[in-house]
Amino acid sequence: MNTTVVIAKKEFSENLRSTRFIILFGLFLFMLLLSAYSGTQNYADELESYNENMGTGNTDIPKPSILTAFQQLLGSRMVSSGITIIGAIIGIVIGFDAIVGERESGTLKFLLTQPIYRDTLINGKLLGFTILIFTVVAISSVMTIAVIGGITGVFPGGDELPRILVFNVMMFFYIMTFAVIGLFFSVFLKQSVDALLAAIAVFIIVTLLISPVATAVASFIAPMPSQSQVFVMRGGGGQTMDVVFAGGDRTASNRTGTASNRTGVSRGWQGMGEEMRAAMTKNRNVMQTIMYLSPSENFEHVNEVILDPYSEEMGGGREFGFGSQIHRSLPEGLGMVWGNIIALLVWLIVFFLASYVMFLRQDVGR
Amino acid sequence: MENKKVNTETNKEVMIECKNLTKAYNGFKALDNLNLDIVKGEIFAFVGHNGAGKTTTMNLLVGLIEPTSGDAFISGHSIIKDPIEVKKIIGFLPENVNLYSGLTARQTVKYIADLNGGVAENKIDETLDRVGLEKVKDKRAEEFSKGMKQRLGIACVLVKDPEVLFLDEPTSGLDPTGKMEVQDLLKKLGDEGITIFYASHILGEVEDIADRVGILYQGKLQKILGKDEIEKVGEIYKEISVVV
C-alpha cells in the first residue's frame, strides 16, 4: 500500500475513534437536524402562504422550493449558524494536533526514521483529513435530506439537487479550511494546547470580530451620510421592514422573505437619493472586500445565494438583498459568488502550502 | 550508493561508520568530529551526561538532522546521500516515545510495518511475541505500563527486521522491573546478532549489556572502553570529567 494512504488511513481511523471527534460530530449532526426540522416548518409556512395567494388569484408568486428548508441550516443571520461555528471547530479539532501531537508524544521522530519522505507524512495527514471531512459531510447531507424529505414528503430534485450538492461541497471546503488552519499551527507551534488556542483565535477573529472591524474600516475609508445610518423602508404589501445599516452585523428581519416583501425592499433601495446610494455602495464595497478575509462569511454568503435562487444583491450590499422575483439558475448564482468561493479556497491553499513548506524545513531533531 | 567496509581487526562488516561527523548550532558544536566504527552484531553504548551530544549523534545517524560537516555510513549507505536507504535498514526508538494511545498494540505494529512496505500478518504476532506482548496485542497502548509501552516501541522497531538498532535512553523513566525487562530484551537481541547503538546517561546499566562503551563529553568522544574495561566506566568517566 502507498505510504501516503497508510498514513491517511491511520489518521482517519484514529480520529474516528477519538472521543472529542465523536462528541463534536454528534453535536454537529444534532444542530444540523434541528435546523432541518425548523426548516421544514418554514417550508410548510411558505407553502401555506403560497396556497392562500393562489386562492386569491395572485399567481405571480413562485411555488416554494424545498430549498427553503435547507436555507434554515444557515441560521437566522443574527449570528453565525451552528454549522458555521461547529463545522469550524470540527475542522480545528481534526487539524490542531496533527503534527504537534506526534512531536509531543515522540512519534514524529519515530515516523521520520521510517523510509518515507517528510512530504509523505504531511500529504498523508491531509488525505486523512479529506476522507474524514468527506465522511462527515456525506453523513450529514444524507441525514438532512432524509429528515427534511421524511417530514415534508418532498425530496429535492431537478435544480434543487445540484444546489444542495454545491452547499455540501462548500461545507467540505469550509471544514477543510479550518482543519488546515489547525494543521498550520500544529506545525508552527511546539505545544498542542497553543496550536488549539491559536487556531481558535483565528476562528474568532475571522468569524466574530471581522464584522465590526470591517464596519469600522469602511466607516473610516468611506463614511456615509449620517441620516443613512439607520433608516426604515416601507415595503410593498403594507409590511414594514427595518434594515439597520450598521454595516456587517447582517441584521435583516427576514432572510427568507416572501416575494411580496422582496419587491418592497427593491423599491426602498431604488427610492433612495443618488448620493446616498453611492455612499452606501462605496461603504459596502469596502466592507465586503474586508469580509472576503472571512472563511465563515464566504461560506455563508455562497450558500445563501445558492440555496435561495431569488436572493439578490443590491448596491453591492447583500444583507438586505432578497429583492427579486426572478429565479436565478445555479450557474448564474455561482457567477455571483465566485469571488467568495475563490477567497475560501485561497485560505485553504495558502495555509496548506505554508504548513507544507514550514514542515519540510523544520528541524525535528531538537 | 552502497560502499560496505570490513573491519580488518575483527574481520566483521562495519555497520556504522562515522567520519569526522560534526553538528554545530549557531557556532556551538553539539558533536565535534566524531570518528567511530561499529561492527556487525556489536552492542555499542554511548554514555555521557545530559547535553553531552548523545541524542545529537543518534539524530544524525538516523537521518533526522543533517551534519554540519563529515558523514556517516550505515551498512555502507551515506546518511547524507542515501537517507531513505539508511531508514530501510535501521530501527530507531527515540527517548520517551509514547506510541498511539488510541491504537492497539497490533494496530500500532501493523502501522509501522505498512510504512515499511508491509509484512505478513503472522510476522506482526511473532514480533509482539518476541517482546512479550502477544497476550495483550488487542489492548490499546493507553492501558499499558511504561515498560510495556517501551517494549511495544521495540516491537515497532523490530517488525521491519532492522540490521542496526538505535535506542536513545531506552530505560529512561522506567521502574526497576520495566528496566530489567528492557535490558533482558536488549541482551536477547544482541545474542541474535543485531547491531545495537544505544545511548544512556546511566553508567551502571551499560556494564551488563554493551560490548564496548564510548564516553562522550561536551560533544567529543573522549574514550572507547573495551569489554575488559567496561566495569570501570564510572571511574573513567569521573577522571575524564575532571580533566576536561
Confidence of residue B166 (pLDDT cuts 50, 70, 90): very high
The secondary structure of residue B159, as a DSSP letter, is: T
Query: Would the CB atoms of B118 and A14 count as touching at under 8 Å?
Result: no
pTM of the prediction? 0.84
A319: pLDDT strictly greater than 50:
no
Compute CA distances A148 → A143, A144, A156, A199, whole Å.
Answer: 9, 6, 9, 34
A221: pLDDT strictly greater than 90:
no
B4: pLDDT strictly greater than 80:
no
Confidence of residue A238 (pLDDT cuts 50, 70, 90): very low
Query: Would the CB atoms of B65 and A363 count as touching at under 8 Å?
Result: yes
Q: Chain A partners of B94 at a C-beta cutoff of 8 Å?
A: 106, 109-110
Query: Would the CB atoms of A6 and B62 count as touching at under 8 Å?
Result: no
- A:B CB pairs within 8 Å: 78
Distance from CA of B58 to the nearest CA of A (A): 9
Distance from CA of A22 to the nearest CA of B (A): 14
Q: Which of residues 7-66 of A touch B (CB under 8 A)?
A: 7, 10, 14, 17-18
Contact partners, residue A338, CB within 8 Å, separation at least 6: none
Name the average pLDDT for chain A: 81
Query: Would the CB atoms of B114 and A117 count as touching at under 8 Å?
Result: no
According to the model, what pLDDT value does residue B182 have? 81
Q: A227-231, A319-323, B95-99 — which is least confidently predicted?
A: A319-323
A352: pLDDT strictly greater than 50:
yes
Tally Cβ neighbours within 10 Å of residue A348. 18
According to the model, what pLDDT value does residue B96 have? 80
According to the model, what pLDDT value does residue A186 have? 96
User: Which pLDDT tens digit goes with each residue over A168-215?
Assistant: 999 999 999 999 999 999 999 999 999 999 999 999 999 888 888 888
Query: Would the CB atoms of B64 and A14 count as touching at under 8 Å?
Result: no
Query: Would the CB atoms of B90 and A113 count as touching at under 8 Å?
Result: yes
Q: Phi, psi (5° rounding) for residue B46?
A: -105, 120
- Helix, strand, or coil (residue B170): coil
> Is the Cβ of B118 closer than 8 Å to some Cβ of chain A?
yes
A287: pLDDT strictly greater than 50:
yes
Q: A3-17, A191-205, B219-233 — which is least confidently predicted?
A: B219-233
User: Which pLDDT tens digit goes with each residue over B60-108?
Assistant: 999 999 999 999 999 999 999 999 999 999 999 988 888 888 899 999 9
Option in A106, A109, A115 nearest B116 (CB): A115
Q: Residue A30 is which amino acid?
A: F
Please give the residue of chain A at the shortest CA–CA distance from B57.
A365
According to the model, what pLDDT value does residue A58 have? 74
According to the model, what pLDDT value does residue A178 have? 96
Which of A57-66, A352-361, B234-243 shows the highest mean pLDDT? A352-361
> How many contiguous H segments (helices) and E segments (strands) does chain B have?
8, 11
Show the 3-state SS of B128-157: HHHCCCHHHCCCEHHHCCHHHHHHHHHHHH
Confidence of residue B243 (pLDDT cuts 50, 70, 90): low
According to the model, what pLDDT value does residue A187 have? 96
Query: Would the CB atoms of B102 and A6 count as touching at under 8 Å?
Result: no
Compute CA distances A329 → A70, A145, A301, whole Å.
Answer: 17, 21, 16
> Is the Cβ of B59 closer than 8 Å to some Cβ of chain A?
yes
> Is the Cβ of A109 closer than 8 Å to some Cβ of chain B?
yes
Confidence of residue A232 (pLDDT cuts 50, 70, 90): very low
> Is the Cβ of B63 closer than 8 Å to some Cβ of chain A?
yes
Option in A6, A105, A363 nearest B115 (CB): A6
Distance from CA of A125 to the nearest CA of B (A): 14
Element (H, E) at B6: strand B5-6
Please give the residue of chain A at the shortest CA–CA distance from B162.
A114
Confidence of residue A135 (pLDDT cuts 50, 70, 90): very high
Yes or no: say if A116 and A239 are a contact pair by the CB < 8 Å rule. no
For the segment A131-160, the average pLDDT, to the nearest whole number, is 91
Q: Chain B partners of A10 at a C-beta cutoff of 8 Å?
A: 100, 103, 111
Distance from CA of A30 to the nearest CA of B (A): 26
The secondary structure of residue A62, as a DSSP letter, is: P
According to the model, what pLDDT value does residue A253 have? 35
Query: Would the CB atoms of B112 and A365 count as touching at under 8 Å?
Result: no
Distance from CA of B161 to the nearest CA of A (A): 12
Name the average pLDDT for chain B: 88
User: Which pLDDT tens digit goes with each residue over A99-113?
Assistant: 999 999 989 999 999
B51: pLDDT strictly greater than 80:
yes
Query: Would the CB atoms of B92 and A14 count as touching at under 8 Å?
Result: no
A230: pLDDT strictly greater than 50:
no
Yes or no: say if B162 and B194 are a contact pair by the CB < 8 Å rule. yes
Helix axes A82-95, A295-307, angle to 10 degrees: 130
Query: Would the CB atoms of A109 and B94 count as touching at under 8 Å?
Result: yes
Q: What percent of chain B has pLDDT over 70?
A: 98
A115: pLDDT strictly greater than 80:
yes
Q: Chain A partners of B111 at a C-beta cutoff of 8 Å?
A: 6, 10
Compute CA distances B131 → A68, A337, B39, B202, whole Å.
Answer: 61, 59, 24, 23
According to the model, what pLDDT value does residue A247 have? 37
- Helix, strand, or coil (residue A243): strand
Who has greater pLDDT, B79 or B2?
B79
Strand B43-47 versus strand B195-200 pairing type: parallel
Distance from CA of A158 to the nearest CA of B (A): 44
Contact partners, residue A116, CB within 8 Å, separation at least 6: A3, A7, B87, B115
Query: Would the CB atoms of A17 and B102 count as touching at under 8 Å?
Result: yes
For the segment A137-156, the average pLDDT, to the nearest whole number, is 91
According to the model, what pLDDT value does residue A69 have? 83
Q: Chain B partners of A112 at a C-beta cutoff of 8 Å?
A: 63-64
User: Which pLDDT tens digit goes with each residue over B136-161?
Assistant: 999 998 899 888 898 899 999 999 99
Query: Would the CB atoms of B97 and A110 count as touching at under 8 Å?
Result: yes
Query: Radius of gyration of chain A from Cα atoms?
Result: 23
Q: Chain B partners of A110 at a C-beta cutoff of 8 Å?
A: 92-94, 97, 99, 112, 153, 156
Q: Mutation test of the interface with chain B: which of A16, A113, A366, choosing the one with the most B Cβ atoms within 10 A?
A: A113
- Dist CA A322 CA A308 (whole Å): 9
Query: Would the CB atoms of A107 and B118 count as touching at under 8 Å?
Result: no
User: Which pLDDT tens digit goes with each residue over A39-81?
Assistant: 888 888 888 888 888 888 777 777 888 888 888 777 655 445 7
